[in-house]
Amino acid sequence: MQPFVLAFVLACADAVLLAPAPAHAQATVDQRALEPLQQTQPAAPETTKPTPAHRAPAHPASRTAPRSTATPRQTTPVAKPSPPPPPPAPEVRVPLAPPPPPVLPPALVVPTRPPAPPPPVPVSVDARGAAEQIPDGLRVTFGDGSAELNPATETALRALAHTAPPDATFSVSAFAAGSTDDPSTPRRLSLSRALAARSVLIAEGVASPRIYVKALGASGGVAQGPADRVDVTVAATNPQAKSPQ
């Protein structure tokens, strides 16, 4: 059997090798003959077939959103800008020595008027009146309807001004005789007598603010002495200071 099989295989191989090869036809096309046809026939518009949309296979798993397996991004905290530094403290310099004393301009001298001279003292040699001592002062009398001093009463008032303490105050109370029907006339006369006694005190250096004048006229106090008089009392500011005798 084996030689028969071998002879059959060799016969088949010879038949394949000796079989004629198939003939191939070759055609050539003349492009010059086709050019008139291409120019006369319009070119057909190219139509593009719509591409069918691709449908994803309906799968139950596609309906649910896929789970993200990516790790969450870690956000880096943004650092807040630091506040600006505080301004530097001013430098305090302590002087080693005190500053020199300021130079003051010379004092401005304003000329002042001299004090007004005291009013003239009405003194008359023929004037009636007398002076007598009273507690804490002096009493001076005048003639009827007169406000003039005589040399004796003027001298007594000057002596009182010199013997009083430097800070003493003088109270001059003047009276004048008159009727109650005309109170203004005795009041004006008493004022003239008080101003006459005040003029003597000012002439002896007593400041006018320390002299208090009271023109009482024919009012109360007339019955305690002569109606035409002036009572000058001295009051020391310091109770321990006494008027020299």
Planar angle of CA 140, 183, 149, nearest 5 degrees? 20
123-141 exposure pattern, b = at least 16 Cβ within 10 A, e = fewer: beeebebebeeeeebbbbb
Residues paired with residue 211 on neighbouring β-strands, in sequence order: 170
Give the pLDDT score at 84. Answer: 84
Residue pLDDT tens, the chain, 245 long: 455 656 676 766 665 555 555 555 455 556 665 565 555 555 555 555 555 555 555 554 445 555 655 565 666 777 778 888 888 888 888 888 888 888 888 888 887 777 677 667 778 888 999 999 998 899 999 999 899 999 999 999 999 999 998 889 999 999 998 887 888 999 999 999 999 999 999 999 899 899 999 999 887 666 678 889 999 999 987 655 444 44
Tell me the domain boundaries of the chain. Answer: 131-235
Q: Residue 5 corresponds to which amino acid?
A: V
Return the pLDDT at 3.
59
Question: For residue 152, what pLDDT is reported?
Answer: 93
Q: What CATH topology corresponds to 131-235?
A: 60s Ribosomal Protein L30; Chain: A; (3.30.1330)
Task: Give how far Cα 232 sits from Cα of 70, 168, 212, 223, Å.
Answer: 124, 12, 10, 17
